[in-house]
Each structure stands twice: as C-alpha cells, then as structure tokens.
Amino acid sequence: MKLKLQKQKTYDYTNRVNGQDYVFEPGESLNISYMTGHGKGIKPGDFIILELDSNISHYQVEHIDYYLDPPDMWMASLRKINP
C-alpha cells in the first residue's frame, strides 16, 4: 500500500486588504493568530503570507474550518513561522 504525500501549498494574501478581503486577529499568545477569509483548498500544514502594518509575515495553518455558505469561506488558526 502506498501513502500519498501531500505537498504543502503557500497562499499569498499580501495583495489583499485586512478588514476588507479577510480578517486577521492576534491570538492570546504571540505565535498563534486567527484569520477568516476566502479561498478553496487551504488545509492544515499549508502556509499563508500576509502583509500586516507594512510587514510581511508568514504563518502555517494549524486548523481550518470551512463555512457551509459560502463554501469557500473559512476560519483558521495560524502559527507564526520564520521563513
């Protein structure tokens, strides 16, 4: 039996506006944050790049839940990483 290895993908949200195209909320700790956005196929382990306060930040998706309507809207917990 062969196991299929899933490659992690990177999603660039630097051209999108916080509060308009997505909502980013810092978490209780410095490394965990939350984000609500749109996009299909994002899964745990994938990476998201954001521009926040003119700084580029890299995050890894820890957990993600998709809404039923619209089906491409999601809420995720993100862990800040150093690229």
Q: Which domains does the chain have, with CATH numbers?
A: 12-81 (2.30.130)
Give the pLDDT score at 58: 96
User: With 80 as the cut, is the pLDDT of residue 36 above it?
Assistant: yes
Distances (CA, A) of 43 to 1, 5, 52, 53, 74: 24, 14, 22, 26, 10
Burial of 30 (C-beta count, 10 Å sphere; 0-12/13-18/19+)? exposed
User: With 70 as the cut, is the pLDDT of residue 2 above it?
Assistant: no
Give the pLDDT band (50/70/90) at residue 5: low
User: What percentage of the chain exceeds 70 in pLDDT?
Assistant: 92
CA atoms within 13 A on the CB side of 15: 2
DSSP conformation class of 45: T
Give the pLDDT score at 77: 98
Closest CA to 8 of 48, 36, 37: 48
Confirm whether pTM is higher than 0.85: yes
